[in-house]
Structure 1
Amino acid sequence: MDRLRETCDGSGGKMFLSGKENEKVWSEKGTQKMRFVKIKKKGSGVETEMECLGINTISQAEAKAEQKQQYQTAPVIKTEKRVLRRELGRMENNFELFKLELMSIKFMDAFRNEVQDHYAESASVSVLVNDIPTGEFSPRRGLHQGDPLAPFLFLIVAEGLAGVSRMAEEKNLIDSLEVGRAKVKVNMLQYADDTLFFCEANTKSVFNIKAILLCFELTSGLKENFLKSRIGGMGLDQCSLQRFTAILNCKVMVTPFVYLGLPVGGCHKRGVFWNGVLERVKGKLSRWKGRWLSMAGRICLIKSVLSSLPLFFMSLFKLPSRVADKLVRIQRNFLWGWGSDGRKIAWASWNKVCEPRDYGGLGIIDLRTFNLALLGKWIWRWGSAKGGLWKEILDSKYGGWRNLRAEGKPCRGSLWWRDLKEVWASEGWGRSFEDGIEWKVGDGGNISFWEDSWLNCGALKGMFPRLYSLSMAKAAKVAEIGNWSNGVWIWHLCWRRSLFDWEKLLEEQLSQLLQGIKMDARGVDSWVWKAEGSQSFTVNSAYIKVRRVSDGEFSPIYCRLWRCKALPSAVFLAWRVLENRIATRVNLVRRGVVVENPVCCLCGKVEESSSHLFSVCDFSWRVWCLCFEWLGVSFVIHLDPMQNFIQFRLSQTSVSVNDVWGAIWVGIVSEIWKHRNSIVFNGGVTDVLEVFASAQVKVWSWIAAKSREVYFSYPCWVMDPLACIRRKAS
């Protein structure tokens, strides 16, 4: 366990607890007495270092009397003076080490002084010992638990461990791991309190790593728990691994292991790798939750689960097709299943459901497209980042991001590299990922003249293959194909031989393209993302760009529908009516469901289709007539519900007025459907006035809930709805 300690007026203490009944000992210095109380479960058998809780000035006789009185009630802690002195010296050196690290990182003097005041001169505190408050004292060491400065100070102290590791590497005390052709050295990775050491499999490196950890413990006061540590090897025999395990006194690490929430060392192409994600999604989208949620609630839950659970995995690994199908099946069953067992009717294709709302869909994220956008960010960071250890490792191992263009599947390389090549060549970007970016030319030092698409018209070697074959500098950068003369950039194209006349025409065309390029001697070459409204890559813009290949056309009708001031569940019902995705008797028969009588239950004359039920049915007709009479307007009721909704709007009015006006249409449709279900399942009786009155109340409650203040009462709403709508919209 971590070491907890307190220094009080120049004295320090170290306490150990065991399963035995200890005797209570007072450590005396003058008349100052250190009091300790036990915080443990009896018989635990585990020695734990505890904290000094307080001091008080009492006589030796009083101390012995109090000790004798409390001996039978509390187990006690034994402490030795030499231990106190040793711990005091260690704690005094801790802050000196911390100040040295602040100076090495080059923090300002004002910041160092502020940290020292906050760290060493806290407010005075008093504690209760056996229900008796002690005298106030000022803690001399450490920050209190929950202090917002503590995590930052911990990172600064942990930086000392990284510095010692780098120094050990420079002195060849540790043989660091060398990656790739450039032999990039990696010996340690740190994230908060998680640390990974990398080294070659030899006894010298393992012994020195343990020595570094022990020295860091002595100087910083942070204790390493070797029992919780693990050691693993790649291509290492078990005998050597067991020998290293004995040296470090830790356990063998089994692959795959979890680091920062992600499994490391497993094959993400296998379904077993994703079992944890599937189980968590199933738990969140269980069927019993769907029984108590409306369609709007189920869609909201699907979106929230998708953004929290598999997102972390999909940001690094390519989703296998089988796993993607399982996740889609779970979501589809939850959306259309209503929490019941057995197979249910999916009233819309999943591709339709994943379309944006403004395009006629429900806006649920498409997993495959979203996974493609997440992995595309790695390519963007790789090509646009200026530096970093991760980029150096990838460049050394795979030769840079330009090798993603290589055609065919690589025979060597990790699965992640192969997936990244597939993402680069995905059809969603166009011909490749490079179609979604353009170069902002600076000094030309990072742009390949012939291979990169830096002229926004494709790579020059593809546009001028003849000139590319004759070039003497096929791998040259843009900065190497010219020079500055009196502040003007001049191009110099070198060929292996003299050009023929028809080849000179090609050279003239190339020169015309180069004339429009403005070089900047002080600028830096960079990528620009071509997506609308953003010059930098974002996952959202990449998702929209890839998704638009399969989306339909933008529809202002659905924009108006989703803006209606109505309850979300009622708006989703209206969407199903407009898309003819609702369970009318005609639609049920079309999907193979046996229906006793396909005739409309409201009028009993015509087959119950979506257009008949909500538009031309005698019952619905009378409801719409009452609505038009109440509003004081006249409309033509179309046979198609879509056309009926389009013409149900006020001309020469603001958008906010029509948003409230559209809620009336949604309210009438939802009440007709509710009344129809009441007759079918509960044996109700048709009542036009009841449906119309319920729609009035429902729309009024929606408008009142959508506004901060209710500007009109229900009687005013019934008497003059147009005036209330204009007042609400204003």
Structure 2
Amino acid sequence: MHLFEVYGAFSGQLINATNSKFYTSSVPMSKIIAIATLTSFIYDNLPFVYLGVPLFKGRPKAVHLRPIFDRIKSKLSTWHGRLLSIMGRAQLVNYVISGMLVYTFHIHRWPKIILNEITKIIRNFVWSGDCNQQKICTVAWNTMCRPKDEGGLAIRDPFMVNNASLLHLTRKFLTSQDQWAQLCRHILLSNAKPKNHYIHSSIWIDGEWNLPTYFHVKDDVLTNKILQTTLPIKPVPDALQWLSTTDGHLTNKLTYLFVRGTCIKVPWHKLVWNTYIPPTRVFICWRFIHNRLPTDENLRKRGCTIVSICCFCKKQLETSDHIFLRCPVTSQIWDWLNQGINQQLDLSSCQNLFVKQNWRRQYVGAANSDLNHQKCHMVHMVREK
């Protein structure tokens, strides 16, 4: 107890014995009783929750993190998802559920079985509004987790967030000067302190490279790269730098982007994702571009046996391109729009409709982006009725 008193005198953190507990592992009961008598602490068993994080011995198991999963599922169940649009449900997942997970993701590597269950209930909630009801997902989960400029909905994948958070924690463990990082490096690393002594080199003499001649014979390209590299003459302490940033610092967002990787950016995302356009109309156009609307053509691909016919002209098979672009009924609406803007729209494909437009200056802004959304939304609503 004298050690606790000295710690409290220097740090100002006094210990309240009645509110303190201690935990042991493989310790005889006689020693536990002696510690409790000496310190007046309460003995408790692992696992337990501290500051919202479950603490346990060994690797994380599903039973340790199940309470957090149950809270997330309870949160999704209390929301009236059916009263929200699919874009509204996606926003709730991004800003609420992701915030509930990111704290523990920085500490534990979650088991795959729990991450799979979290992904399942999030996917069910986004598509059906009920985390317990499974609905046909017309767009792949990997596509939905892409950023909007790559053709996705910017939903964060729990697997990637967990890996990115642990990578960010590893970076802080190796580079941070906080007390916890220094203590962990001193305990866990064998070479906690950097070497300060000079190491003689036969290829770097008096601030110049002195490479042997056989270096050029073996690999001339690598040798030229070495010669172009300048080493500092003055002793500068080494530090880990993240190459993709200008200042060398790594943030959690950059870590997630590194783990997720990058895809080819789509040219239509700025015209489809517009802050002046309601998200419900944007979602219809987004599914139209990916050819994932529940038309007869796509339902047949999923095994549904139905008689396909266009609900407008009653002559052709119902496909996304036909009912939106090539049907005689909808073509009249496009002709009316062409006359209104005094320009011929490219109706060869959905992407060309949004990308290949040479709008006049008086139509630039929110209005020109909303024209195609209004048309696609109107056709889709008429078809659903």
TM-score class, shorter? 0.7 to 0.9
* Equivalences for residues 562-601 of structure 1 within 5 A: 562-563=273-274, 565-595=276-306, 597-601=307-311
The residue type equivalent to 1:233 in the other structure is: T
Superposed displacement of residue 625, structure 1:
2.0
**Which whole-Å CA distance do the structure 2 matches of 1:365 and 1:568 have between them?**
18
- Assess, with a 3 A threshold, how the Cα gap between structure 1 residues 341 and 364 changes in structure 2: closer, same or farther: closer
1:361 to 145, 152, 156: 152
Aligned residue number for residue 326 of structure 2 = 616
C-alpha contact (below 8 Å) 2:49/2:55 kept by paired residues: yes
C-alpha contact (below 8 Å) 1:268/1:274 kept by paired residues: no
The residue type equivalent to 1:338 in the other structure is: G
C-alpha contact (below 8 Å) 2:143/2:152 kept by paired residues: yes
Superposed displacement of residue 648, structure 1:
4.1
Does residue 208 (structure 1) correspond to residue 19 (structure 2)? The answer is: no
Alpha-carbon displacement from aligned partner over 1:282-332 (angstroms, at most 9, x marks no partner) = 122227521011111011011013431111111121122212211111111
- Assess, with a 3 A threshold, how the Cα gap between structure 1 residues 672 and 389 changes in structure 2: closer, same or farther: closer
Larger Rg, first or second structure (1 or 2): 1
The residue type equivalent to 2:335 in the other structure is: C
Aligned residue number for residue 275 of structure 1 = 66
Aligned residue number for residue 379 of structure 2 = 672
1:641 to 323, 347, 350: 350
1:489 to 189, 197, 207: 207
Does residue 628 (structure 1) correspond to residue 347 (structure 2)? The answer is: no
Greater relative contact order (Cα < 8 A, sep 6+): 2
C-alpha contact (below 8 Å) 1:287/1:338 kept by paired residues: no
The residue type equivalent to 1:644 in the other structure is: L
Does residue 529 (structure 1) correspond to residue 242 (structure 2)? The answer is: yes
Aligned residue number for residue 384 of structure 1 = 175
SS at match of 1:531: coil
What do you get for the CA RMSD once the two structures are aligned?
Answer: 3.5
Identity of aligned residues (%): 22
Aligned residue number for residue 250 of structure 1 = 41
The residue type equivalent to 1:672 in the other structure is: V
The residue type equivalent to 1:660 in the other structure is: A
**Which whole-Å CA distance do the structure 2 matches of 1:562 and 1:480 have between them?**
57
Number of positions where the alignment pairs a residue of Structure 1 with one of Structure 2? 381
SS at match of 2:149: helix
- Assess, with a 3 A threshold, how the Cα gap between structure 1 residues 240 and 606 changes in structure 2: closer, same or farther: same
- Assess, with a 3 A threshold, how the Cα gap between structure 1 residues 520 and 585 changes in structure 2: closer, same or farther: same
- Assess, with a 3 A threshold, how the Cα gap between structure 1 residues 552 and 519 changes in structure 2: closer, same or farther: closer
Aligned residue number for residue 192 of structure 1 = none
**Which whole-Å CA distance do the structure 1 matches of 2:353 and 2:291 have between them?**
13
Alpha-carbon displacement from aligned partner over 1:355-409 (angstroms, at most 9, x marks no partner) = 11111111111222222221112332233335634334334334258xxxxxxxx
Alpha-carbon displacement from aligned partner over 1:56-114 (angstroms, at most 9, x marks no partner) = xxxxxxxxxxxxxxxxxxxxxxxxxxxxxxxxxxxxxxxxxxxxxxxxxxxxxxxxxxx
- Assess, with a 3 A threshold, how the Cα gap between structure 1 residues 594 and 241 changes in structure 2: closer, same or farther: same
Higher helix proportion, which one?
A: 2
**Which whole-Å CA distance do the structure 2 matches of 1:623 and 1:503 have between them?**
71
1:605 to 315, 328, 333: 315
SS at match of 2:46: coil
**Which whole-Å CA distance do the structure 1 matches of 2:288 and 2:206 have between them?**
66
Superposed displacement of residue 256, structure 1:
1.5
The residue type equivalent to 1:570 in the other structure is: R
SS at match of 1:285: helix
SS at match of 1:375: helix
Aligned residue number for residue 238 of structure 1 = 29
**Which whole-Å CA distance do the structure 2 matches of 1:278 and 1:286 have between them?**
12
C-alpha contact (below 8 Å) 1:354/1:364 kept by paired residues: yes
SS at match of 1:576: helix
Higher strand proportion, which one?
A: 1
Aligned residue number for residue 326 of structure 1 = 117
- Assess, with a 3 A threshold, how the Cα gap between structure 1 residues 563 and 248 changes in structure 2: closer, same or farther: same
**Which whole-Å CA distance do the structure 2 matches of 1:293 and 1:364 have between them?**
17
**Which whole-Å CA distance do the structure 2 matches of 1:344 and 1:574 have between them?**
20
Alpha-carbon displacement from aligned partner over 1:209-230 (angstroms, at most 9, x marks no partner) = 56669x96xxx8x985432211
- Structure 2 residue runs without a partner (length 5+): none
C-alpha contact (below 8 Å) 1:318/1:371 kept by paired residues: yes
TM-score (norm 1): 0.47
**Which whole-Å CA distance do the structure 2 matches of 1:491 and 1:481 have between them?**
13
The residue type equivalent to 1:208 in the other structure is: H
Aligned residue number for residue 338 of structure 1 = 129
